[in-house]
Amino acid sequence: MLKITGYLVLLLASSFTLSFGGLLPNGNFEKSPSSTQLSGTKVEGKYAIPNWETFGFVEYITTGTKQQDMVLVVPEGKHAVRLGSNASIKQKVATQPGKFYALTFSFARTCAQEEVLNVIITPSSKGHTGILPLQTVYTSVGFDAYAWGFRAEANVVEITLHNPGQPGEDPACGPLIDTIALTILESVKPTGGNLVKNGDFGQGPYVFHTSSWGVLIPPNIEDSHSPLPAWRIESLKAVKYIDSLHFYVPEGQRAVELVGGKESVIAQTIRTQPGKLYALTFLVGDAKNGCVGPLAIEVFAAKATTKVTYNSKGRGGFTKGKLVFKAEERTTSIRFLSSFYTMTIDGSMCGPVLDDVKVLHAIRTPRHVTKV
Protein backbone atom coordinates (compact mmCIF):
# COMPACT_ATOMS: atom_id res chain seq x y z
CA MET A 1 0.00 0.00 0.00
CA LEU A 2 2.84 2.37 0.79
CA LYS A 3 4.38 1.75 -2.63
CA ILE A 4 1.08 2.54 -4.39
CA THR A 5 0.61 5.73 -2.37
CA GLY A 6 4.15 6.85 -3.13
CA TYR A 7 3.65 6.16 -6.83
CA LEU A 8 0.46 8.24 -6.89
CA VAL A 9 2.23 11.10 -5.14
CA LEU A 10 4.97 10.90 -7.78
CA LEU A 11 2.44 11.08 -10.61
CA LEU A 12 0.61 14.03 -9.05
CA ALA A 13 3.85 15.90 -8.47
CA SER A 14 4.99 15.19 -12.05
CA SER A 15 1.65 16.28 -13.53
CA PHE A 16 1.81 19.57 -11.65
CA THR A 17 5.36 20.16 -12.79
CA LEU A 18 4.62 19.46 -16.46
CA SER A 19 1.54 21.70 -16.55
CA PHE A 20 3.83 24.70 -16.27
CA GLY A 21 7.17 23.26 -17.27
CA GLY A 22 9.91 22.95 -14.73
CA LEU A 23 12.15 20.70 -12.69
CA LEU A 24 11.33 17.05 -12.27
CA PRO A 25 10.74 16.05 -8.63
CA ASN A 26 14.17 16.52 -7.02
CA GLY A 27 15.48 17.37 -10.48
CA ASN A 28 18.21 19.49 -8.89
CA PHE A 29 19.23 16.70 -6.47
CA GLU A 30 19.06 19.03 -3.49
CA LYS A 31 17.17 16.36 -1.51
CA SER A 32 20.08 14.21 -0.50
CA PRO A 33 20.54 10.57 0.48
CA SER A 34 20.88 9.85 4.21
CA SER A 35 24.43 9.64 5.56
CA THR A 36 24.01 5.86 5.92
CA GLN A 37 23.37 5.58 2.16
CA LEU A 38 26.64 7.22 1.19
CA SER A 39 30.10 5.71 1.15
CA GLY A 40 32.16 8.83 0.66
CA THR A 41 30.54 10.21 -2.50
CA LYS A 42 29.27 6.84 -3.77
CA VAL A 43 25.53 6.25 -3.49
CA GLU A 44 24.64 2.99 -1.74
CA GLY A 45 21.14 1.76 -2.49
CA LYS A 46 18.89 1.84 -5.54
CA TYR A 47 16.45 4.34 -4.02
CA ALA A 48 18.90 6.36 -1.92
CA ILE A 49 18.38 9.60 -3.85
CA PRO A 50 14.79 10.79 -3.28
CA ASN A 51 12.56 10.46 -6.38
CA TRP A 52 15.29 8.67 -8.35
CA GLU A 53 16.36 5.12 -9.10
CA THR A 54 20.09 4.57 -9.56
CA PHE A 55 22.05 1.76 -11.18
CA GLY A 56 25.77 1.17 -11.08
CA PHE A 57 28.47 3.49 -9.77
CA VAL A 58 26.62 6.77 -9.06
CA GLU A 59 28.17 9.53 -6.96
CA TYR A 60 26.43 12.29 -5.03
CA ILE A 61 28.56 15.38 -5.56
CA THR A 62 28.56 18.43 -3.30
CA THR A 63 29.98 21.83 -4.24
CA GLY A 64 33.70 21.88 -3.50
CA THR A 65 34.25 18.15 -4.05
CA LYS A 66 37.69 17.52 -5.55
CA GLN A 67 38.92 14.94 -8.01
CA GLN A 68 42.67 14.94 -7.49
CA ASP A 69 43.56 18.63 -7.99
CA MET A 70 40.36 19.53 -9.86
CA VAL A 71 37.24 20.88 -8.18
CA LEU A 72 34.13 19.29 -9.69
CA VAL A 73 31.69 21.85 -11.08
CA VAL A 74 28.10 21.79 -9.79
CA PRO A 75 25.96 23.74 -12.31
CA GLU A 76 23.13 24.72 -9.93
CA GLY A 77 22.69 24.76 -6.17
CA LYS A 78 24.91 22.64 -3.95
CA HIS A 79 24.45 19.10 -5.27
CA ALA A 80 24.55 17.03 -8.47
CA VAL A 81 25.20 13.40 -9.44
CA ARG A 82 28.01 11.81 -11.40
CA LEU A 83 27.36 8.74 -13.52
CA GLY A 84 30.23 6.29 -13.51
CA SER A 85 30.93 3.87 -16.35
CA ASN A 86 27.70 2.03 -17.30
CA ALA A 87 25.75 3.82 -14.53
CA SER A 88 22.35 5.45 -14.88
CA ILE A 89 19.57 7.36 -13.11
CA LYS A 90 15.86 6.89 -13.81
CA GLN A 91 12.57 8.54 -12.96
CA LYS A 92 8.95 7.88 -14.00
CA VAL A 93 6.77 10.88 -14.83
CA ALA A 94 3.14 11.38 -15.83
CA THR A 95 2.67 12.40 -19.47
CA GLN A 96 -0.08 12.84 -22.05
CA PRO A 97 0.11 10.22 -24.83
CA GLY A 98 0.68 11.79 -28.23
CA LYS A 99 2.10 15.03 -26.84
CA PHE A 100 5.63 16.21 -27.60
CA TYR A 101 7.98 16.98 -24.71
CA ALA A 102 11.38 18.56 -24.25
CA LEU A 103 13.75 17.35 -21.56
CA THR A 104 16.36 19.87 -20.41
CA PHE A 105 19.36 19.04 -18.23
CA SER A 106 22.79 20.39 -17.33
CA PHE A 107 25.97 18.38 -17.45
CA ALA A 108 29.70 18.82 -17.05
CA ARG A 109 32.64 16.71 -18.12
CA THR A 110 34.80 15.38 -15.31
CA CYS A 111 37.29 13.13 -17.11
CA ALA A 112 39.69 13.39 -20.03
CA GLN A 113 37.98 10.62 -22.00
CA GLU A 114 35.46 11.26 -24.75
CA GLU A 115 32.39 11.16 -22.55
CA VAL A 116 28.91 10.57 -23.94
CA LEU A 117 25.43 10.46 -22.44
CA ASN A 118 22.68 8.07 -23.51
CA VAL A 119 19.12 9.47 -23.22
CA ILE A 120 16.41 6.78 -23.14
CA ILE A 121 12.62 7.31 -23.06
CA THR A 122 10.40 4.25 -22.52
CA PRO A 123 7.99 2.98 -23.61
CA SER A 124 8.83 3.85 -27.20
CA SER A 125 7.89 2.05 -30.40
CA LYS A 126 10.33 4.19 -32.39
CA GLY A 127 13.23 3.97 -30.00
CA HIS A 128 13.48 7.41 -28.37
CA THR A 129 17.14 6.80 -27.61
CA GLY A 130 20.15 8.84 -28.52
CA ILE A 131 23.73 9.41 -27.59
CA LEU A 132 24.89 12.95 -26.91
CA PRO A 133 28.62 13.47 -27.41
CA LEU A 134 30.11 15.60 -24.65
CA GLN A 135 33.49 16.27 -26.28
CA THR A 136 32.61 19.87 -27.15
CA VAL A 137 32.06 22.21 -24.20
CA TYR A 138 30.40 25.36 -25.53
CA THR A 139 30.68 27.56 -22.44
CA SER A 140 33.72 28.70 -20.50
CA VAL A 141 32.09 27.82 -17.16
CA GLY A 142 32.72 24.11 -17.71
CA PHE A 143 29.17 22.87 -18.20
CA ASP A 144 26.31 23.11 -20.69
CA ALA A 145 22.55 22.59 -20.77
CA TYR A 146 21.05 20.35 -23.46
CA ALA A 147 17.48 19.71 -24.62
CA TRP A 148 16.09 16.39 -25.85
CA GLY A 149 12.74 16.00 -27.61
CA PHE A 150 10.37 13.04 -27.63
CA ARG A 151 6.72 12.08 -28.14
CA ALA A 152 5.02 10.44 -25.15
CA GLU A 153 3.44 7.07 -25.91
CA ALA A 154 1.89 6.32 -22.52
CA ASN A 155 0.38 7.96 -19.45
CA VAL A 156 3.66 7.34 -17.66
CA VAL A 157 7.11 7.33 -19.24
CA GLU A 158 10.46 6.45 -17.77
CA ILE A 159 13.31 8.87 -18.36
CA THR A 160 16.79 7.35 -18.14
CA LEU A 161 20.16 9.09 -18.36
CA HIS A 162 22.88 6.50 -18.86
CA ASN A 163 26.65 6.71 -19.20
CA PRO A 164 27.71 3.85 -21.51
CA GLY A 165 31.33 4.43 -20.54
CA GLN A 166 34.52 3.70 -22.41
CA PRO A 167 36.44 0.39 -22.48
CA GLY A 168 39.12 0.20 -19.81
CA GLU A 169 38.28 3.51 -18.14
CA ASP A 170 38.03 4.23 -14.42
CA PRO A 171 34.57 2.97 -13.33
CA ALA A 172 34.06 6.24 -11.40
CA CYS A 173 34.70 8.35 -14.51
CA GLY A 174 31.72 9.97 -16.18
CA PRO A 175 29.58 13.08 -16.71
CA LEU A 176 28.13 15.15 -13.90
CA ILE A 177 24.35 15.71 -14.20
CA ASP A 178 22.18 18.43 -12.63
CA THR A 179 18.92 20.42 -13.02
CA ILE A 180 16.68 18.09 -15.01
CA ALA A 181 13.44 19.68 -16.26
CA LEU A 182 10.58 18.77 -18.59
CA THR A 183 8.02 20.82 -20.51
CA ILE A 184 5.22 20.17 -23.00
CA LEU A 185 5.78 21.43 -26.55
CA GLU A 186 2.61 22.89 -28.01
CA SER A 187 1.77 22.28 -31.68
CA VAL A 188 2.77 25.12 -33.99
CA LYS A 189 1.06 26.37 -37.16
CA PRO A 190 1.65 29.13 -39.70
CA THR A 191 -0.01 32.36 -38.54
CA GLY A 192 -0.77 35.78 -40.01
CA GLY A 193 0.19 34.82 -43.54
CA ASN A 194 3.66 33.71 -42.42
CA LEU A 195 4.45 30.30 -43.90
CA VAL A 196 7.13 29.63 -41.28
CA LYS A 197 6.08 27.77 -38.16
CA ASN A 198 7.50 28.93 -34.83
CA GLY A 199 9.38 31.69 -36.63
CA ASP A 200 9.76 33.67 -33.40
CA PHE A 201 11.09 30.56 -31.60
CA GLY A 202 8.48 31.08 -28.89
CA GLN A 203 7.94 27.33 -28.52
CA GLY A 204 10.95 25.43 -27.26
CA PRO A 205 12.57 23.64 -24.33
CA TYR A 206 12.46 24.79 -20.74
CA VAL A 207 15.10 27.43 -19.97
CA PHE A 208 16.31 27.54 -16.37
CA HIS A 209 15.43 30.90 -14.84
CA THR A 210 18.54 30.91 -12.69
CA SER A 211 20.96 30.05 -15.50
CA SER A 212 22.67 32.32 -17.98
CA TRP A 213 24.10 29.89 -20.53
CA GLY A 214 21.08 29.00 -22.70
CA VAL A 215 20.06 25.52 -23.88
CA LEU A 216 21.74 23.57 -26.67
CA ILE A 217 19.54 21.91 -29.31
CA PRO A 218 21.32 18.77 -30.59
CA PRO A 219 21.67 17.82 -34.27
CA ASN A 220 18.80 15.83 -35.75
CA ILE A 221 21.13 12.88 -36.32
CA GLU A 222 21.07 12.54 -32.53
CA ASP A 223 17.45 13.51 -31.79
CA SER A 224 14.71 12.64 -34.30
CA HIS A 225 12.09 14.70 -32.42
CA SER A 226 13.36 18.26 -32.29
CA PRO A 227 12.85 20.04 -28.93
CA LEU A 228 12.47 23.19 -31.06
CA PRO A 229 9.10 22.62 -32.82
CA ALA A 230 9.10 22.80 -36.65
CA TRP A 231 12.87 23.33 -36.81
CA ARG A 232 15.65 20.82 -37.38
CA ILE A 233 19.39 21.08 -36.77
CA GLU A 234 21.17 19.94 -39.94
CA SER A 235 24.72 20.07 -38.67
CA LEU A 236 27.38 18.40 -36.56
CA LYS A 237 27.24 21.06 -33.87
CA ALA A 238 24.35 22.18 -31.71
CA VAL A 239 22.40 25.43 -31.89
CA LYS A 240 21.83 27.45 -28.72
CA TYR A 241 18.31 28.40 -27.60
CA ILE A 242 18.34 31.68 -25.65
CA ASP A 243 15.83 33.76 -23.68
CA SER A 244 15.41 37.50 -23.14
CA LEU A 245 15.92 37.18 -19.39
CA HIS A 246 19.63 36.40 -19.83
CA PHE A 247 20.44 37.52 -23.40
CA TYR A 248 19.54 40.20 -25.91
CA VAL A 249 16.69 38.91 -28.09
CA PRO A 250 15.75 41.04 -31.13
CA GLU A 251 12.01 40.22 -31.03
CA GLY A 252 9.84 38.57 -28.38
CA GLN A 253 11.16 36.32 -25.61
CA ARG A 254 13.23 33.64 -27.39
CA ALA A 255 15.70 33.28 -30.26
CA VAL A 256 18.52 31.00 -31.41
CA GLU A 257 22.25 31.64 -31.47
CA LEU A 258 24.33 29.83 -34.11
CA VAL A 259 27.35 28.99 -31.98
CA GLY A 260 29.20 26.47 -34.17
CA GLY A 261 30.15 28.42 -37.28
CA LYS A 262 29.36 26.57 -40.52
CA GLU A 263 28.68 23.51 -38.37
CA SER A 264 25.63 25.26 -36.85
CA VAL A 265 22.77 24.90 -39.34
CA ILE A 266 19.07 25.36 -38.61
CA ALA A 267 16.40 24.61 -41.20
CA GLN A 268 12.68 24.27 -41.82
CA THR A 269 10.61 22.97 -44.73
CA ILE A 270 7.61 25.10 -45.70
CA ARG A 271 4.72 24.64 -48.15
CA THR A 272 5.11 26.60 -51.38
CA GLN A 273 3.62 26.84 -54.87
CA PRO A 274 5.99 26.12 -57.78
CA GLY A 275 6.75 29.24 -59.80
CA LYS A 276 5.59 31.67 -57.12
CA LEU A 277 7.81 34.35 -55.59
CA TYR A 278 8.30 34.52 -51.81
CA ALA A 279 10.02 36.99 -49.52
CA LEU A 280 12.06 35.53 -46.66
CA THR A 281 12.76 38.09 -43.91
CA PHE A 282 14.64 37.62 -40.63
CA LEU A 283 16.67 39.42 -37.96
CA VAL A 284 20.40 38.96 -37.34
CA GLY A 285 22.05 40.29 -34.19
CA ASP A 286 24.18 39.56 -31.16
CA ALA A 287 23.11 38.16 -27.80
CA LYS A 288 24.77 40.86 -25.66
CA ASN A 289 27.18 38.23 -24.42
CA GLY A 290 30.52 39.69 -25.47
CA CYS A 291 30.49 38.17 -28.97
CA VAL A 292 32.43 40.92 -30.75
CA GLY A 293 33.23 41.34 -34.45
CA PRO A 294 31.52 40.55 -37.75
CA LEU A 295 28.71 38.03 -37.30
CA ALA A 296 27.26 36.67 -40.53
CA ILE A 297 24.40 34.35 -41.41
CA GLU A 298 24.20 32.64 -44.80
CA VAL A 299 20.67 31.95 -46.01
CA PHE A 300 19.43 29.42 -48.58
CA ALA A 301 15.98 28.99 -50.13
CA ALA A 302 15.37 27.09 -53.40
CA LYS A 303 18.15 28.36 -55.72
CA ALA A 304 18.50 31.71 -53.96
CA THR A 305 21.14 32.51 -51.37
CA THR A 306 22.56 35.52 -49.57
CA LYS A 307 24.69 36.54 -46.61
CA VAL A 308 23.77 39.11 -43.95
CA THR A 309 26.54 40.53 -41.76
CA TYR A 310 26.08 42.30 -38.46
CA ASN A 311 29.10 44.06 -36.95
CA SER A 312 28.71 43.28 -33.28
CA LYS A 313 30.09 45.24 -30.36
CA GLY A 314 28.80 42.58 -28.00
CA ARG A 315 26.21 44.86 -26.44
CA GLY A 316 23.04 43.73 -28.22
CA GLY A 317 21.46 44.92 -31.45
CA PHE A 318 20.37 43.57 -34.81
CA THR A 319 19.91 44.19 -38.51
CA LYS A 320 17.18 43.02 -40.86
CA GLY A 321 17.72 40.67 -43.79
CA LYS A 322 15.60 39.79 -46.79
CA LEU A 323 15.83 37.23 -49.57
CA VAL A 324 13.31 36.85 -52.38
CA PHE A 325 13.18 33.40 -53.95
CA LYS A 326 11.19 31.51 -56.56
CA ALA A 327 9.73 28.20 -55.40
CA GLU A 328 10.42 25.17 -57.58
CA GLU A 329 8.55 22.53 -55.60
CA ARG A 330 5.48 22.19 -53.40
CA THR A 331 7.82 22.35 -50.42
CA THR A 332 10.94 24.48 -49.95
CA SER A 333 13.64 24.19 -47.31
CA ILE A 334 14.96 27.39 -45.80
CA ARG A 335 18.38 27.05 -44.15
CA PHE A 336 20.52 29.33 -42.00
CA LEU A 337 24.16 28.88 -41.01
CA SER A 338 26.83 30.98 -39.36
CA SER A 339 29.69 32.03 -41.64
CA PHE A 340 32.35 32.31 -38.95
CA TYR A 341 33.62 30.54 -35.86
CA THR A 342 33.51 33.08 -33.03
CA MET A 343 34.32 33.08 -29.31
CA THR A 344 33.67 35.51 -26.48
CA ILE A 345 36.53 37.04 -24.54
CA ASP A 346 36.09 34.46 -21.76
CA GLY A 347 36.33 31.55 -24.24
CA SER A 348 32.68 30.57 -24.77
CA MET A 349 31.59 29.61 -28.29
CA CYS A 350 29.24 32.23 -29.72
CA GLY A 351 27.76 33.48 -32.97
CA PRO A 352 24.97 35.44 -34.64
CA VAL A 353 21.46 35.46 -33.21
CA LEU A 354 18.61 34.54 -35.55
CA ASP A 355 15.04 35.67 -34.85
CA ASP A 356 11.65 36.61 -36.32
CA VAL A 357 11.83 34.43 -39.45
CA LYS A 358 9.00 35.03 -41.92
CA VAL A 359 8.13 33.88 -45.43
CA LEU A 360 5.40 35.84 -47.22
CA HIS A 361 4.15 35.94 -50.80
CA ALA A 362 6.30 38.40 -52.75
CA ILE A 363 4.82 40.87 -55.21
CA ARG A 364 8.10 42.14 -56.62
CA THR A 365 10.83 40.62 -58.75
CA PRO A 366 13.74 38.96 -56.91
CA ARG A 367 16.37 41.28 -55.50
CA HIS A 368 19.46 40.90 -53.41
CA VAL A 369 19.24 40.88 -49.65
CA THR A 370 17.93 44.07 -48.10
CA LYS A 371 19.30 45.29 -44.78
CA VAL A 372 17.56 48.00 -42.82
* Mean model confidence pLDDT for the chain: 86
For residue 17, what is the enclosing H or E element? helix 2-20
- List the domains of the chain with CATH numbers: 2-185 (2.60.120.260), 215-361 (2.60.120.260)
For residue 330, what is the enclosing H or E element? none
Q: pLDDT at position 223, please?
A: 56
Q: pLDDT at position 97, please?
A: 94
| Span of 44-58, 133-147, 257-271 with lowest mean pLDDT | 133-147
Q: pLDDT at position 133, please?
A: 67
Environment class of 137 (CB within 10 Å of its CB; exposed 0-12, middle 13-18, buried 19+): middle
Taking the whole predicted model, whether its pTM rises above 0.85 is answered as yes
Q: How far apart are CA 72 and CA 61, in angstroms?
A: 8
- Are 204 and 227 spatial neighbours (Cβ–Cβ below 8 Å)? yes
Sorting pLDDT into bands at 50, 70 and 90, what band is 280? Answer: very high
Q: pLDDT at position 231, please?
A: 95
Q: pLDDT at position 134, please?
A: 64
Question: What three-state secondary structure class fits 86?
Answer: coil
For residue 347, what is the enclosing H or E element? none
pLDDT (tens digit, 9 = 90+) per residue, 306-333? 999 999 999 999 999 999 999 999 999 9
For range 224-252, the mean pLDDT: 91
Of 2-6, 101-105, 216-220, 347-351, where does the model show the most confidence? 101-105
| DSSP assignment of 134-201 | -S---STTSEEEEEEEEE--SSEEEEEEEE---TT--TT---EEEEEEEEEEPP----TT--STTTT-
Q: pLDDT at position 128, please?
A: 55
Q: pLDDT at position 286, please?
A: 96
Question: Is the sign of the CA dihedral 30, 31, 35, 38 positive or negative?
Answer: negative
Of 81-85, 126-130, 233-237, 317-321, where does the model show the most confidence? 317-321
For residues 239 and 166, the model is more confident at: 239
Question: Is the sign of the CA dihedral 96, 120, 235, 110 positive or negative?
Answer: positive
Q: pLDDT at position 112, please?
A: 62
Instruction: Return the bridge partners of 181, or none.
Output: 23, 104
For range 261-273, the mean pLDDT: 94
Q: pLDDT at position 126, please?
A: 62
Residue 372 has pLDDT above 50, yes or no: no
| Span of 22-26, 187-191, 199-203, 307-311 with lowest mean pLDDT | 187-191
For range 164-176, the mean pLDDT: 79
- Are 143 and 73 spatial neighbours (Cβ–Cβ below 8 Å)? yes
| Span of 2-16, 36-50, 127-141, 290-304 with lowest mean pLDDT | 2-16
- Count of CB atoms situated within 10 Å of the CB of 24: 23
pLDDT (tens digit, 9 = 90+) per residue, 118-131? 999 999 766 556 67
Sorting pLDDT into bands at 50, 70 and 90, what band is 258? Answer: very high
Q: How far apart are CA 213 and CA 208, in angstroms?
A: 9
**Main-chain phi, psi angles of 329, to 5 degrees:** -130, 175
Residue 368 has pLDDT above 70, yes or no: no
For residues 210 and 182, the model is more confident at: 182
